[in-house]
Structure 1
Amino acid sequence: MSEPESIVIAGAGLAGAKAAETLRTEGFGGRVTLLGSELLRPYERPPLSKGLLLGTAAPDEPFVHEAGWYAEHGVDLRLGAVVTGIDRAARVVRTASGEDVGYDRLLLATGAMPRRLDGSGTFAHTLRTWTDADHFAAVLKEKARLVIVGAGWIGMEVAAAARQRGAQVTVVTPDRLPLRAVLGDTVAEVFAELHRAHGVEFRFGAHTTEIRPDGVTLDDGTTLQADAVLVAIGAVPNAELAAEAGLATGDGVHVDALHTTSDPAIFAAGDLAAVDHPLLGARIRVEHWANALDSGPAAARAMLGRGTPWDKLPFFFTDQYDLGMEYAGWVPPGTQPRVVVRGDLAGREAIVFWLAGDRVAAGMNLNVWDVQDQIQDLIRAGLAGRKVDLDRLADESVPLPDLLP
């Protein structure tokens, strides 16, 4: 594949910004155009539900690069540029302003949008942008009443930040525990107890039927008074552009292990990309920070003909109150993995493993540090078919590297 002369990146989030950076560090000397729908230069999203809500983030902390970086590196950053269409035959993207931008290679990094509740109107808020975070930082004050619909990662991180700011927090979820779909009952109960200990009220097994300016009505007729309501029930990939252009899509934009779409001139990365993962043997889409950080550069190298098959394990982290956690691996949906705990789970200082048979499929360290590489070694060994002794896996006296003969 010959090196392109012009590369357009649609989406100026972390994946898009890191792709632009990688193009320059790889020595690409052609045109790089980075189109962002927001009016702020590229920033990272984890601070939105952490430091920005708590007021602990430095003013420039979330930004991917300093303000002058793009001009200094010859990256044409265009803010407020919403891409509305792709002409694959002409190799042109069109923006809402009517401008056509030509490309030899195109990277789609348009991310995802929050799911919304039917009928929630304008009274429900989501947390996806810096503007959203500013809004919640303003309402999270002493005695403010916050209702969070959804008990996933964003919902629980906002709950922690809100309680630390002195707000009253109620979490509504149809499930019986927070984060249960990802973690299972055993570990989800740890997070439930953590939040209860900090004063969060849960309404489990409940559905929201109405959101009004003054609160939320549940399906049992209960009304929860609120100064603000956050809907945090997951995200939907922004795949409309790709679908309208005739690219293969499903839950996201389908790409191969090199992040190439069904059009060899178009690539996708970040929250948007559903990757045919060679290690996991499945097509997966990952919405977490590490995926955006790594997949943007991977796609950039592939656009230059220097790509390698994607072999990163899904990875994410969270900080809630005094609990810090890192998780790596993938448990196929619908399976019932065995859980092995190494350490004091109730005391929130442990390593937890999820096993497919006698093989490690995923692992999480809670307030135990500098073990993530070893956990990932065990997962990769499991994917290669290597089994572990479950008693030794649970035994803290056995060093993790010794589990792999």
Structure 2
Amino acid sequence: MNQTLIIVGAGHAGGRAALTLREEGYSGRLILIGDEAHLPYERPPLSKGVLQGSTDLAECSLCDSARLAALGIEHIAGNPASRLDPQHHRLQLADGQWLTYAGLLLATGGRARRLPQEQANVFYLRTHDEALALRNELKPGARLVVVGGGFIGLEVAATARGLGCEVTVLEAGPRLAARALPPMISEALLALHRQQGVDVHLNVALECVHADAVQLVDGQRVPCDLVAVGIGMQPNIELAAAGGLEVGQGIRVDACLRTSAPDIYAAGDVCEFRLGGVYQRQETWRNAEAQGRHAALNLLGKELPFERVPGFWSDQFDWGLHSVGAMTARSVSRALPDGGLLLFCLDTNARLQGAFGWAPGNRAARDIKLCERLITASIALDVASLADADTSLKHLLRG
């Protein structure tokens, strides 16, 4: 193959796909189109190292401009894709020029969901520039209200407390990160944040934002200097939808990450794929990395089904949360040293479907890697052995 391949979206998934194409020997024209001015970078450091001021953009980037040039990857920034014409295999840019492709990858990601009311003291955290803007406001003693008790909001809260801010978290639901976490882990997360001085309010709804406070629907007024909003991501499906591709909550793909147009693939946060028979999106580092690589291979004609077990991690103060697989109704827990825990999610045949690890630092990571192997092995497990901290997971894997 020696025809033009185009990647729309120069974030983590798109950047990884471009690098993989060259690693796999593709030598044709390769164009990477990004909305941001920056080179492809990873997003997890934005709410931690970048916000703390301990990590710069270069440390988050997948590659530098010299490497991109050496690989012959054409990076188009500030001239986003505006129209897709799958029938004629072409793409129009904002300046009006048309590009013809032999294969196309849509890794358009998403944007932060915004409050209906715009206010000067309201900040979001999806891009590097947004992280820098928020970082400039996180001074010791600053009163920060975080709207949203999901991972982004909680990581911002933890970082802000470390910088000496007074932090209040407002969560509309009955517990933290309820869509992604089982109740036991949500409770542990809540306890840690309250121990660290974060004022967490559950079951509250925001009425409006003022210059010096947020007003809640129940009449409460929470004084603040600034507001950080973490209420989810809006997937960028507009280009695909206008081009006639099948979309749902994301750009829908088959088992090989191919869209409803045979020469167009999707990957990363915007990609809606079947997992356990149900369409879903995965907004994680792990998914962007894996799907970016996988889509690149299939653009080269490999026809490989995407079967990676989902997973994520989150750093909260000096604790680490690690997860793999899926939540189920049946679970069993195991106590870890230093107050940590493992939570195993089982199906009706006692086969592991998912696991969550909560422990200081990175201590649960190794156990979660073993859990991923147990999920893949799909073997019936002894529930008592899972709960017993003296029974190694390696022993269960052997047995």
TM norm. shorter chain > 0.5: yes
Structure 1 distance, partners of 2:56, 2:206, is: 36
- Asked if 1:158 is matched to 2:149, the reply is no
Q: Which residue of 1 aligns with 2:220?
A: 222
Q: Which residue of 2 aligns with 1:36?
A: 34
Residue-by-residue CA offset, 1:203-262 (whole Å, 9 max, x unaligned): 111100101222210011111121111111111211111111111110101111111001
Q: Where does 1:223-238 land on structure 2 (aligned, <5 Å)?
A: 223-238=221-236
Residue-by-residue CA offset, 1:87-140 (whole Å, 9 max, x unaligned): 112211111111211111010001011122333556532110111100111111
Structure 1 distance, partners of 2:121, 2:252, is: 34
SS at match of 1:128: coil
Q: Where does 1:1-400 land on structure 2 (aligned, <5 Å)?
A: 3=1, 5-120=3-118, 123-277=121-275, 280-331=276-327, 337-344=329-336, 347-357=338-348, 358-367=350-359, 368-382=364-378, 386-400=379-393
Change (3 A) 1:108 1:369: closer
Deviation of 1:365 after TM superposition, in Å, equals 2.1
Residue-by-residue CA offset, 1:42-73 (whole Å, 9 max, x unaligned): 11101110100111214511111022111100
The unaligned stretches of length 5 or more in structure 1 are none
AA in 1 matched with 2:142: A
Q: Which residue of 1 aligns with 2:395?
A: 402
Q: Which moved more, 1:30-39 or 1:91-100?
A: 91-100
SS at match of 2:394: helix
1:270–1:296: 8 Å Cα contact kept in structure 2?
Answer: yes
Structure 1 distance, partners of 2:380, 2:19, is: 40
2:2–2:29: 8 Å Cα contact kept in structure 1?
Answer: no
2:123–2:227: 8 Å Cα contact kept in structure 1?
Answer: yes
Q: How many residues align?
A: 393
Change (3 A) 1:285 1:374: same
Structure 1 distance, partners of 2:111, 2:336, is: 37
1:299–1:307: 8 Å Cα contact kept in structure 2?
Answer: no
Structure 2 distance, partners of 1:247, 1:137, is: 38
Deviation of 1:353 after TM superposition, in Å, equals 1.3
4+ residue runs over 4 A deviation: 120-123
AA in 2 matched with 1:164: G
Deviation of 1:189 after TM superposition, in Å, equals 0.7
SS at match of 1:249: coil
Give RMSD over aligned pairs.
Answer: 1.6
AA in 2 matched with 1:308: L
AA in 1 matched with 2:333: V
Structure 2 distance, partners of 1:218, 1:399, is: 48
AA in 2 matched with 1:356: D
Identity percentage over the alignment?
37
Structure 2 distance, partners of 1:89, 1:168, is: 55
1:190–1:348: 8 Å Cα contact kept in structure 2?
Answer: no
The unaligned stretches of length 5 or more in structure 2 are none
TM-score, structure 2 length as denominator? 0.95
SS at match of 2:313: strand
